[in-house]
Amino acid sequence: MKILVPLKRVPDPQTNIQVRPDGSGIVTDNVKFVINPFCEIAVEEALRLKEKQAESEVIVLSIGGKECQEQLRTALAMGADRAILVLAEVPVDPATAAAVIHKIIEQEQPMLVLAGKQSIDDDAGQTGQLVASMLDWPQATCASKIDISADGGEITVMREVDGGLESLAFALPGLVTTDLRLNEPRYASLPGIMKARKKEMREVPLAELGLGATEKVKMVAITAPTKRQAGKKVESVAELVSLLHTEAKII
């Protein structure tokens, strides 16, 4: 089985993010970048499926500049077999990213695409669904558990919904997006890091796929969240009720 995992380079969620004064983006100086956490879960799940399915191959894909090599090498160190970097000089929106992934799928012909349900930088949550629509493939989003049949022909996905759990099953090829509860990603071992240096990383210019970085979504501005005011201590229930009435205006 061949499994393709698209992954995105994002700022470390533990990093203190600052917005540029003009609102055009974030300050990237001294900011650590990592694999998007949902994408890292997808990589881990692909590796677990590979361990269960004989003669499986895990391919990781990213779109961006040369700096994305670091995140692809991390995925290779975790255990992925090879990597593809589609070189784009400017950030791409979900529609362009989906078109790129579609082209790579046509070239690689994977049986399963595992993608993070969303990226933590823009939280769009659109790319996986767009790719499945372009391919006319069955899809399951926000997976919390994945099982594949012994012959590798069918996949069963458990997903959390408002009313509880929903189970979906369909024949492969197909696409699944991953949620946080699916697994706990492994750390790259030292032998894995050493092996990653020798693994294949193919670079493909965006223009070579017949695509351009056309933006269907334009970012107008970024603003930092409003700082919350400090709380107040009250001495009595009567004072609390009074404050709720005069300040919160909820009574």
- pLDDT tens-digit series, residues 90-109: 888 889 999 999 999 999 99
The rounded distance, in Å, linking the Cα atoms of 68 and 121 is 15
**Mean pLDDT estimate for the chain:** 90
- pLDDT tens-digit series, residues 140-183: 999 999 999 988 899 999 998 888 899 999 999 999 999 999 99
b/e burial code for range 14-53 (CB count within 10 A of at least 16 → b): eeeeeeeeeeeeeeeeeeebbbbbbbbbbbbbbbebbeeb
What pTM value is reported for the model? Answer: 0.85
Is there a contact between 178 and 8 (Cβ–Cβ < 8 Å)?
no
pLDDT for the residue numbered 22: 85
The pLDDT-based confidence of 213 (bands split at 50, 70, 90) is low
Residues of the chain above pLDDT 90, percent = 64
How many residues in total does the chain contain? 251
Q: Which of 15-24, 27-36, 70-79 has the lowest mean pLDDT?
A: 15-24
Domains assigned to the chain: 2-224 (3.40.50.620)
Is there a contact between 118 and 124 (Cβ–Cβ < 8 Å)?
yes
The rounded distance, in Å, linking the Cα atoms of 44 and 156 is 17
Nearest to residue 167, comparing CAs of 146, 190, 138?
146
The rounded distance, in Å, linking the Cα atoms of 241 and 251 is 8
The rounded distance, in Å, linking the Cα atoms of 177 and 129 is 9
DSSP H helical segments within 167-230, as ranges?
Answer: 190-196
Is there a contact between 182 and 117 (Cβ–Cβ < 8 Å)?
no
pLDDT for the residue numbered 232: 79
> pLDDT at residue 215 above 80?
no
pLDDT for the residue numbered 79: 95
More confident residue, 241 or 36: 36
- pLDDT tens-digit series, residues 85-94: 999 988 888 8
